[in-house]
Amino acid sequence: MPDTVSLGLVQMAMSTDRDANLARAKELVRECAAEGAQVVCLPELFLSPYFCKTESTEPFGWAEPIPGPTTEALEPLAKELDVVIVASLFEKRARGLYHNTAAVIDGPHGYAGKYRKMHIPDDPLYYEKYYFAPGDLGFKSWRTTRGDLGVLVCWDQWYPEAARATALQGADVLFYPTAIGWHPSEKDSHGDAQREAWITIQRSHAVANGVYVVAVNRTGFEPVTLDDPDAEREGRGIQFWGSSFIVGPDGQILSQLGEEDEGVLVVEADLGAIDEQRHGWPFLRDRRVDAYGDIGQRYGS
């Protein structure tokens, strides 16, 4: 396995043109690779605006099998650039059964597998339970040509159990493709605290597990309904806060994009730092695996 890996992410705003979003994503993957990235992660559901702001049957027509058309479109790019691509897609598993799924494409080896989002939110403007069944593939890490990589998706990032379970599968890096932002009406009162909580919880996953963490968000304002010309001025939608970042195993932010930036971020990760961190803070050694039975309960015992 490599001693270092260059981690890349893409932060972008999505249009209503799915083909244009795919083309833009490919362009930014190329830009990432040109800057040295060996693994590139795209934002959650990057082919479209975040459609879970409402409950509508129309987006079901956008879902696809995995592997399928989008993984097939990305495989030649991954092979050409010799990069691993993490692509978050709307999976159609069967008629009437859908998942929020991330595919892993391992350079010249092609499609490596998928992770289905385990934690599904149901909040104002985040009506994901209408669209997605919970994942049933478990927490996964892939031994790729670029290292041992784990993938989780958005709402998963708030759960220490998910990060721990993925790290225990051998992941040296946790990728979180994400779509998260502000309700404009709450930004002044809660915005800073919400964004900082999002950053803090992912830094904590890095520290608790001694791994690198790559958090990948979209940016831009998206209205609840597309035919609302006053939506942004009057705050009817989500202001995605961007701020994508990469964290080292000591929890320090190594690099971060701004709230409104469209572009890429690349960080060379020294995997030896994982050994150093775990030697100093041996959390995996000192875990009381005999005492955690109650964590399988909803609450209490």
Within a domain: residue 84?
Answer: yes
The list of the chain residues with pLDDT below 50 reads none
Per-residue pLDDT at 2: 80
Per-residue pLDDT at 280: 97
Task: Determine the angle formed by the axes of helices 69-81 and 18-34, rounding to 10 degrees.
Answer: 20
Within a domain: residue 234?
Answer: yes
Active site residue ranges: 44, 117, 154
Q: Of all residues in the chain, what percent are helix, strand and coil, respectively (each to 5)?
A: 35, 30, 35
Per-residue pLDDT at 300: 85
pTM: 0.97
Within a domain: residue 163?
Answer: yes
Domain count, the chain: 1
Q: Are 221 and 53 in contact (CB under 8 A)?
A: no
Mapped onto helix, strand or coil, the DSSP state of residue 153 is coil
Per-residue pLDDT at 22: 98
pLDDT tens digits, one per residue of 166-179: 999 999 999 999 99
Within a domain: residue 140?
Answer: yes
Within a domain: residue 202?
Answer: yes
Cβ neighbours for 57, distance < 8 A, ≥ 6 positions apart:
none
Mapped onto helix, strand or coil, the DSSP state of residue 128 is helix
Within a domain: residue 301?
Answer: no
Within a domain: residue 13?
Answer: yes
pLDDT tens digits, one per residue of 248-262: 999 999 999 999 999
Per-residue pLDDT at 83: 98
Per-residue pLDDT at 248: 98
Per-residue pLDDT at 130: 98
Per-residue pLDDT at 226: 82
Among candidate residues 175, 184, 119, the one with its CA nearest the CA of residue 152: 175
Query: How buried is residue 91: exposed, middle or buried, by Cβ count under 10 Å (0-12/13-18/19+)?
Result: buried
β-bridge mates for residue 86, sequence order: 41, 104
Per-residue pLDDT at 228: 87
The CATH number covering residue 112 comes to: 3.60.110.10
Range of the domain at 61: 4-296
Dihedral sign for Cα atoms in the order 36, 17, 175, 250? positive
Q: Could you give the CA distance from residue 256 to residue 266 in angstroms, rounded to a whole number?
A: 10
> 6 to each of 1, 15, 197, 241, how far by Cα in Å?
14, 29, 26, 24
Per-residue pLDDT at 170: 97
Within a domain: residue 44?
Answer: yes
